[in-house]
Amino acid sequence: MSDGDFVREPLGVQERITADGSSSWPVEPGRYRLVGARACPWANRVIISRRLLGLEPVLSLGIAGPLHDERSWRFHNDPGNVDPVLGIEYLREAYEKAVPGYSAGVTVPAVVDVASGKVATNAYLELEEDLATQWREFHRPGAPDLFPAEHRAELDALSDEIFHDVNNGVYKCGFARSQESYDRAYDALFARLDALSSRLAGRRYLLGDTITQVDVRLWVTLVRFDAAYHGHFKCNRTKLTELPVLWAYARDLFQTPGFGDTIDFLQIKQHYYGVHRNLNPSGIVPKGPDTSGWLEPHGREALGGRPFGDGTPPGPPVEGEQVPPPA
């Protein structure tokens, strides 16, 4: 590590929500509200998990708008700039109710206890797993197994590589403070993408024939790559659309229920180009790229596999959670 490296801030409310009530927060249908943002890849991972597992009836979803300032994520797309369930304008309010004088980062995803208005957790990694395991009683019939026991060690190892080199790697490029740090992150990013291309050339998903959580974790970065990371974060060796295997893989998942129906490309661009004024002082949001290609045939069916294994796809997004189609 050098002085120019980007270092992600630690999370501030790393609680767990558990089925047996052994934690501070027990699983209870209707008790909590998941707060995310269409722009944020870390929130997108949890939103996709919620969709795939069918937890919409028991865990409501609030969406912060793509723009925010030093006061945090804001519900500026909701009527009156207020979340209709939590009754707050800035997500920081829920963090400060949980931790008076809260001074760490205000991040999404965050799960808020509706009655008290307190953030229960913003530990996105644990939240992904807890939705798949601790909330199992409330999964829809046919929900996939996103953490298959027989692949768990491989899933964890691959997730760790993808996190450091890809998910966080694009941020290491974008927020590097020295040429050395940028070059190192850039080289690691594209070396990992090349390795993943080779891995996916002969298999439909990262761990074989069905979708697992590691596919969710990689995909949220891929879907934002050309719209934000290629230009805004200087990850410009190649576009996603110039990487044939990864581009087909990403389109395959985009067209799978639970993935593309969570994506709003305009909000993604509004956030990255509008908020990071140190990287884009004008705040101008680019009109491109053309996103209609996400709906083109991908040909990955030839590799076989069943996206949901012995399960079934989720139904359409619930009322109020629809996103615009790519254009």
Q: Is 40 assigned a catalytic role?
A: yes
87 and 195, same domain (yes or no): no
pLDDT at 318: 96
What is the separation of C-alpha 183 from the centre of its chain, rounded to a whole number of angstroms?
Answer: 25
**Phi then psi for 220, rounded to 5 degrees?**
-65, -25
249 and 284, same domain (yes or no): yes
CA 63, 65, 71 angle in degrees (round to 5)?
110
pLDDT digits (tens, 9 = 90+) for 161-175: 999 999 999 999 999
Structure tokens at 163: 């996190």
Q: Is the dihedral of CA 231, 234, 238, 239 positive or negative?
A: negative
Point out the catalytic residue in the list 171, 182, 272, 273.
171
Mean pLDDT across 34-62: 98
Range of the domain at 126: 17-138
pLDDT at 5: 80
Closest CA to 271 of 4, 39, 31, 3: 39
pLDDT at 133: 96
Higher pLDDT among residues 178 and 22, named by residue: 178
Strands (E), 65-186: 68-69, 72-73, 110-113, 118-121
Point out the catalytic residue in the list 32, 40, 95, 235.
40
How many domains does one find in the chain? 2
Please give the Cα distance from 106 to 226 (Å, whole number). Answer: 26
Query: Considering the chain, what percentage of its residues have pLDDT values greater than 70?
Result: 97
Residues pairing with 25 in the sheet: 17
Given a cut of 60, whether residue 1 has pLDDT beyond it is: no
Q: Other C-beta atoms within 10 Å of 18: how many?
A: 16
CATH number, domain of 55, equals 3.40.30.10
48 and 117, same domain (yes or no): yes
Contact 161, 192 (CB under 8 A): yes
Asked whether residue 12 is assigned to any structural domain, the reply reads no
pLDDT digits (tens, 9 = 90+) for 102-120: 988 899 999 999 999 999 9
275 and 160, same domain (yes or no): yes
Is 42 annotated to bind a ligand? Reply is: no
Given a cut of 70, whether residue 9 has pLDDT beyond it is: no
221 and 134, same domain (yes or no): no
Q: Is 32 assigned a catalytic role?
A: no
Return mean pLDDT, the chain.
95
Higher pLDDT among residues 3 and 151, named by residue: 151
101 and 159, same domain (yes or no): no
158 and 126, same domain (yes or no): no
Q: Which amino acid is at 48?
A: I
| DSSP 8-state assignment for residue 147 | S
Given a cut of 70, whether residue 3 has pLDDT beyond it is: no
Asked whether residue 293 is assigned to any structural domain, the reply reads yes
CATH number, domain of 287, equals 1.20.1050.10
Query: Considering the chain, what percentage of its residues have pLDDT values greater than 90?
Result: 91
* Bond from prior residue into 84 cis (ω within 30 degrees of 0): no
